[in-house]
Chain A
Amino acid sequence: MGGSWFRLTTGALACLVLITAGLIFYELWMGSRPAWEQWGLSFIWRTEWNPVRGEFGALPFIAGTLLTSGMALVIALPVSLGIAILLTEFAPRAVRDPLIFIVELLAAVPSVVFGLWGIFVLAPVVQGTVMPFIAGSPLGYLPIFGEPGAGYTLLTASLILAIMIIPIIASLSREVLMTVPRDQREGALALGCTRWEAMRHVVLAYGRAGIFSAAVLGLGRALGETMATTMTIGNSLGLTFDYFEAGNSMTAIIANELREAASEIHVASLVAIGLILFALSFVLNSIGRLIIGRVSRGGV
Chain B
Amino acid sequence: MGRFPRHSPAPRRLFMAGFTGAILFGLVACGGDGSEGGGRGGLTLNGAGATFAMPLISTWSSEYQAETGSRVNYNSIGSGGGIRAHTDRTVDFAASEAPLSPEQFANAPGTLTLPFTIGTVAIAYNVPGVEELRLSGEVLGAIYRGEIRRWSNPAIQELNPGSELPDTEIVVVHRSDGSGTTYVFTEYLSKLDPVWAEDVGFSTSVSWPRGIGGNGNEGVAGAIRNSRGSIGYVELSYLDALSLPAALIRNQEGEFLAPTLDGGTLAAETVVGQLPAGHEPWHEVSFTDPPGAGAYPISSFSYFFVYEELSTLGSRMTRERAESIVRWLEWAVTEGQRFNNEVQNAALPEALQERNLATLDRIRFNGDPIRTW
User: Taking beta carbons and an 8 Å cutoff, which residues of A are in contact with B?
Assistant: 48-53, 116, 119-120, 123-124, 127, 149-152, 230-231, 234-237, 246, 248, 252, 255-263
Contact = CB atoms under 8 A, between A and B. Distances in A.
Contact of B206 (A50, A149, A150, A231): A50
Contact of B215 (A52, A150, A151, A235): A235
B80 A262 contact: yes
B214 interface: yes
Contacts of B359: none
A252 B176 contact: yes
Contacts of B227: 123, 127, 150-152
A150 B230 contact: yes
B178 A259 contact: yes
Interface string B170-213: 01000011111000000000000000000011111111101111
B38 interface: no
B81 A50 contact: no
A58 to B, nearest CB: 15
Contact of B176 (A50, A230, A261): A230
Given A51-B205, A234-B212, 17 more contacts: A52-B203, A52-B206, A119-B222, A119-B223, A152-B212, A231-B219, A235-B176, A236-B212, A236-B213, A246-B211, A248-B213, A257-B178, A257-B205, A258-B80, A259-B177, A260-B180, A262-B204
B80 A260 contact: yes
B79 A260 contact: yes
13 contacts: A51-B178, A119-B222, A119-B226, A120-B226, A124-B226, A127-B227, A149-B171, A231-B219, A236-B213, A246-B211, A255-B177, A262-B101, A262-B204
A48 B2 CA distance: 34
B178 A261 contact: yes
A233 B210 CA distance: 14
Given A235-B176, A246-B213, A261 B80 contact: yes
B169 A120 contact: no
A114 to B, nearest CB: 12
B78 A120 contact: no
B2 A260 contact: no
A48 B219 CA distance: 24
Interface string B72-84: 0000011111011
Interface of B: 1-3, 51, 77-81, 83-84, 101, 103-104, 169, 171, 176-180, 200-208, 210-215, 219, 222-223, 226-227, 230
A120 B2 CA distance: 8
A52 B179 contact: no
Contacts of A248: 213
Contacts of A124: 226
Contacts of A236: 208, 210-213
Given A52-B201, A230-B176, A152 B223 contact: yes
Contacts of A255: 177, 215
Which of A48, A53, A234, A260 is most buried by chain B, counting CB atoms within 10 A of its CB? Answer: A260
A259 B207 contact: no
Which of A151, A231, A259 is most buried by chain B, counting CB atoms within 10 A of its CB? Answer: A259
Given A50-B207, A52-B206, A234 B79 contact: no
Given A119-B222, A124-B226, A259-B178, A51 B2 contact: no
B3 A120 contact: yes
Would you list the 7 A-B pairs with minimal beta carbon distance, nearest first?
A: A260-B178, A235-B213, A259-B78, A235-B176, A50-B207, A234-B212, A52-B201
B211 A260 contact: no
Which of A248, A256, A258 is most buried by chain B, counting CB atoms within 10 A of its CB? Answer: A256
A259 B96 CA distance: 12
Contacts of A52: 200-203, 206-207
Contacts of A263: 103
A149 B226 contact: no
A234 B178 CA distance: 15
Contact of B79 (A123, A231, A252, A262): A262
B212 A116 contact: no
Contacts of B204: 51, 260, 262
A261 B179 CA distance: 9
Contacts of B222: 119-120
Nearest to B180: A260
A262 B205 CA distance: 10
Contact of B80 (A50, A116, A259): A259
